[in-house]
Structure 1
């Protein structure tokens, strides 16, 4: 029987279609029902499947919640995770015939039709199924205030459409599933949508643990969440709860004794509700890390709007203990209330398959209250404009190794006032006295400026800039807008010899990832804060992220680590800070300070963790920084990378690494100790052994040979080690085929 026929039959039987109304009512039913059917699939497809927005949960690496994102505070739960008491309470007070009736209250629709025809008020939904449709339209399908008004407008078209959808649902979805959907979609006030959010908000529990009085309170609130708000109107809420309890007893859901106990129970709602704070402001000290997670996911294909509706679970790489110790270190060095001075620290775990970010912290609090020195600006992850200073000498030395230099090579150290021909008018001096020459390794530890500007004359500026981008400063290559040059483009075009002294914007996160690239044997990976993303069903969500890259040869990266290993030793620029912290681990490290001491930086890596600290003036009018307890703004600064930044690093990393085994740095490669001319190794796989050997020797390499059983023709080169680039004169091993495979061993008894 069609919807129109059912409504007409009910109306006639009920005697409501009097002669004066019979024709207009009956004539309009078919058209209204047809419009409703047409509107179901076109306007509310989700109501038929039960899809609805849900909270996305961001967790730490152990799975503990870190932050929540939502458009509506709703956590969809299955039937098994909703207490029986809750199901009984909502049925008792809202639709006691729910399990035995149709989803359509046809008499109610006819009453609404007659009232509408006579100018009376349109009747509301009556069955739980119809209420589900109405609530779905209002809270899920409606995306704008105008759509929400249409979803709740007291007109007959809405009533008939809801009736048609309810009838379809009743024939396609089981009663328990319909009840579950209803309890997941309905509003309980105070931004709590669905029973799981309501259980948490009012009782700090879960939907499966709701007691009879708790369930009765929530069920009673559905009629009017504002009027029966237990915090604002406790007396009204108590009265309504007790009505529900009485209805449950009449239905036989609870005994009279249970009803009496439930009626006597206090409301049990704290004055301060337990609703979820939306966004990264709810993450506390981990807010900066959370902000980076959202930015990372946005770039990986999942926008914040999608996260706020999608009910995802985002498991991150943040280690709570590491974050707490890092936060304690930055606060100890520079209190959060210290004017003008920010202290930030980022920590990345190296690896050849991923670089996992384990902590990102700042001395400032993450939040919106500027009077409390809070900010939502991503201090650790966004490049600060003051620069990282001599940390950039890592890139000059690495470029030198890539061109055939060695860390044991002796390089010149020009005197103060050196005018480099690379950039006319650029004059550089040192902070202290240095011998006229020293090894590259000693220069990295003691950091004379003139030596590295002079070294740039050997490498050229472009290779140094390219090396910085390769190793991890990818933001330097990003264009600020269409047609606008990147920082790297400007440095190359303007031939800025000052690049090796680090005046360009830098973030502690990217610096930490530079250390991770070196510690990963030259493999760059994007600094990832995410381990996995799963959808509401638990299925994996694929992220669109850059692949890891072998950006420099492994031996070069390993040797650069050795080249940086004297910074914490006597004579090194961070030696005092290392000694004060009791540091005793092999470390590759570099300090940096900008010219006027408005910022200082320290990056250091062990085989297991890399971290970078930057101390800088975070005000709109930066001033020099003077060290002290705490550091302050001053007229002539004395901040160095080896002071506050290094002290922050060692204060944090000493307890973070704790009692874990002390690991040695990777062994340096002899090719990059004394150096040699770097050149391409000819690719000879597939060639015959004779011509291949001749080609390699002609290119300046020593050839070693081996053979292996293979189906390839005898004498064909099937292996070559190393491949790519190498130092002229090194040995290259070529493996040739014997031209046959040994027969497989016979099974016993054959």
Structure 2
């Protein structure tokens, strides 16, 4: 009796549904229900399906794809008769006869489901289009929403029916069929028939054969059960059923169907053919660049979901040849499988309106298999060198001195073997030999010595010579002339170390709530002055974490006449419709006077010449171009750096421990760098060899323009 009453109620509801096209406007259902249907219909119109974002190099060659759903958009003309009739025959034989809902089939299924018989769907392709659009597009990240969109209830079926009927008033049958074939899943994150044709058969959708189309049409009913790689017998059975339905629908001759049934499934071997869904697909060389593109766009305001579903075409500034040479040079100097030794090279093109990133390379491959020397950490671009840049940071001290007018590149600097500073206290209270100068802040001194014998006749050398030979004592004395570290750390920020100086002493994000002074302050704050303290004088020795890409951009800023621009990897972006997409990038800034930058470039031009710290590396490749450069080595030889730039290209090479740890690096020759055995790494060894090895190849055959002319204002200093 209860079932009979339920069927009577159900029959009334279904009759109301059948009358909807006529009586809908008269209020068959409530206004609230109508509003829900209208909103869902709007969602179907306003929320586009996720598409694959493509990343290319600077020539337009694809290097990577990013996606959450692998989908290749297919238009009406690409769907051939084989695919069309295979799908219609098995899923909705009366597709061209109904107005969105097959009421006869719906009533039959509803009665069967309500009376406890076999569960039946009886949904038309239009209704399936609605359901799949809700599941795979509108609610793709909403599990409760997906559950509601496919629950077995009369209310859900009626709502789906109303939407389907509305849809048929707005779209023709071919548009609905095409829409369905673009959103339905074919298993394993493969969505739409375009992607399925490629992934299953390595063929364009318009060239699908009848048995191929039958296999795909059979999949949509249950892609997991009918997976041809996991369940080939089930997949074959389902394909053959589709062929039989095509015969019943008079769209295929029985003899042809029998012949097709005897054919193998014909899918590609080993699983579906589809591209990687993230930057791993860019490969071991280009993956670091792809990762930087992603990081750059997220920083610019794009969401990760938008990036992976928006279907963008992103043309980058990557020069694959330069990137390859950078990778080869980095790996030549340090083996990719060497435990806890990373060797990176980042290259940026100078310019007064753009600083384009050309290459981001490392000895390690980009990938997921650490035991094979792979990593997905952004070693060439992120703040990952926790060992520091060493004396490469003396560039900032020199630049600040020029800006303050306390020295020029020809100004003499004292170069004692040992130096005691009372301006920068905090180094210790017994480091100063007698007679000691007055103690600094806290009753202490800052004391240091040189790594070698730099004391020439007269005990002084020019700033230009000091930049080439790098005595520590000369630059701490120069910091004293500047007065505090404030202008020096700010100079580092201005010239390009922006994310670096905003990070904490561990290279991570600042956490003001932490009680750890290495975490709760930025490097700008940690090394800068505070009331009663002139700052941390060790900044000129580069002891803190940094980004190699930002250091390369410092060289680009100097070589661009003092114009800083963000290191951009973007040449242009278009959306799924081919329209340009603006990206909010920081504006270029004239951060120091052009004369200062030009003079500093000249001041750094002796490093690769005889007596300079990178002369051996430069001479090893017979370097004969004008270049500005600066090496750096940290305490106990724990890391090394080389910053070098020509008018065409600036680059920073770094060797460091990516996993951290104490102790120095042991250099036993090119290709043989370890963390054990000795402590003899210097910036003039592996980093400089990496830089010159790559740049000699990249610039081969190009002109060798001179460095800019110095400004007399910054030659003598002392004004």
Which position in structure 1 is the counterpart of 2:156? 158
Distance 1:413 1:131 in 2: 82
Which position in structure 2 is the counterpart of 1:474? 498
How many angstroms does 1:345 deviate by? 1.2
Which position in structure 2 is the counterpart of 1:294? 294
Which position in structure 2 is the counterpart of 1:429? 449
Distance 2:68 2:370 in 1: 26
Contact 2:325 2:698 (C-alpha < 8 Å) held by counterparts: yes
Which position in structure 2 is the counterpart of 1:492? 528
How many angstroms does 1:358 deviate by? 1.7
Task: Tell me which of 57, 63, 68 is aligned to 1:66.
Answer: 63
Which position in structure 1 is the counterpart of 2:266? 268
Is 2:131 the counterpart of 1:134?
Answer: yes
Task: Tell me which of 654, 660, 673 is aligned to 1:614.
Answer: 654
Is 2:488 the counterpart of 1:464?
Answer: yes
Distance 1:253 1:354 in 2: 60
Contact 1:108 1:123 (C-alpha < 8 Å) held by counterparts: no
Distance 1:104 1:158 in 2: 14
Q: Secondary structure at the match of 2:630?
A: strand
How many angstroms does 1:492 deviate by? 1.4
Q: How many residues are matched?
A: 661
- Pairing of 1:443-458 with structure 2 (within 5 A): 443-458=466-481
Task: Tell me which of 670, 675, 700 is aligned to 1:633.
Answer: 675
Which position in structure 1 is the counterpart of 2:73? 76
Is 2:403 the counterpart of 1:380?
Answer: no
Distance 1:400 1:367 in 2: 44
How many angstroms does 1:106 deviate by? 1.7
What are the ranges of 5 or more consecutive residues in structure 1 without an aligned counterpart?
1-16, 678-750
Task: Tell me which of 564, 589, 593 is aligned to 1:553.
Answer: 593
Q: For the structure 1 residues 313 and 125, does the alpha-carbon distance in structure 2 shift closer, same or farther, using more than 3 Å as the test?
A: farther
Q: For the structure 1 residues 256 and 348, does the alpha-carbon distance in structure 2 shift closer, same or farther, using more than 3 Å as the test?
A: farther
Contact 1:515 1:603 (C-alpha < 8 Å) held by counterparts: yes
Task: Tell me which of 190, 193, 218 is aligned to 1:192.
Answer: 190
Select the structure with the greater relative contact order (CA < 8 A; seq sep ≥ 6).
2
Q: For the structure 1 residues 39 and 108, does the alpha-carbon distance in structure 2 shift closer, same or farther, using more than 3 Å as the test?
A: farther
Distance 2:233 2:116 in 1: 37
Q: Secondary structure at the match of 1:596?
A: helix
Q: For the structure 1 residues 408 and 38, does the alpha-carbon distance in structure 2 shift closer, same or farther, using more than 3 Å as the test?
A: closer
Is 2:11 the counterpart of 1:25?
Answer: yes
Moved more, 611-620 or 235-244: 235-244
Q: Secondary structure at the match of 1:396?
A: helix
How many angstroms does 1:209 deviate by? 3.8
- Pairing of 1:308-347 with structure 2 (within 5 A): 308-347=308-347
Residues 100-149 of structure 1 deviation map (CA, whole Å, 9 limit, x = unaligned)? 43221122233344445545555314321111112122222333333323
Task: Tell me which of 580, 596, 606 is aligned to 2:620.
Answer: 580
How many angstroms does 1:302 deviate by? 0.6
Q: Secondary structure at the match of 2:605?
A: coil
How many angstroms does 1:257 deviate by? 8.6
Distance 1:255 1:320 in 2: 53
Which position in structure 2 is the counterpart of 1:95? 92
- Pairing of 1:682-697 with structure 2 (within 5 A): none
Q: Secondary structure at the match of 2:180?
A: helix
How many angstroms does 1:249 deviate by? 6.2
How many angstroms does 1:258 deviate by? 7.0
Contact 1:75 1:311 (C-alpha < 8 Å) held by counterparts: no
Q: For the structure 1 residues 499 and 536, does the alpha-carbon distance in structure 2 shift closer, same or farther, using more than 3 Å as the test?
A: same
Is 2:554 the counterpart of 1:514?
Answer: yes
Which position in structure 2 is the counterpart of 1:222? 220
Q: Secondary structure at the match of 1:344?
A: strand
Distance 1:584 1:246 in 2: 76
Is 2:535 the counterpart of 1:536?
Answer: no
Which position in structure 1 is the counterpart of 2:428? none
Residues 237-296 of structure 1 deviation map (CA, whole Å, 9 limit, x = unaligned)? 334334444555666767789767755654332222312322222222222222222221
Residues 629-686 of structure 1 deviation map (CA, whole Å, 9 limit, x = unaligned)? 4111236411000000111111122212222222222222232233463xxxxxxxxx
Contact 1:230 1:238 (C-alpha < 8 Å) held by counterparts: yes
Q: For the structure 1 residues 117 and 256, does the alpha-carbon distance in structure 2 shift closer, same or farther, using more than 3 Å as the test?
A: closer
RMSD over aligned CA atoms reads: 2.7
Distance 1:453 1:232 in 2: 69
Moved more, 34-43 or 430-439: 34-43
Contact 2:323 2:359 (C-alpha < 8 Å) held by counterparts: yes
Distance 2:645 2:252 in 1: 65
How many angstroms does 1:474 deviate by? 0.7
TM-score when normalising by structure 2: 0.86
Distance 1:18 1:397 in 2: 93
Which position in structure 1 is the counterpart of 2:506? none
Which position in structure 1 is the counterpart of 2:142? 144
What are the ranges of 5 or more consecutive residues in structure 2 without an aligned counterpart?
18-27, 426-444, 504-509, 514-519
Moved more, 159-168 or 411-420: 411-420
Distance 1:445 1:352 in 2: 27
Distance 1:359 1:433 in 2: 37
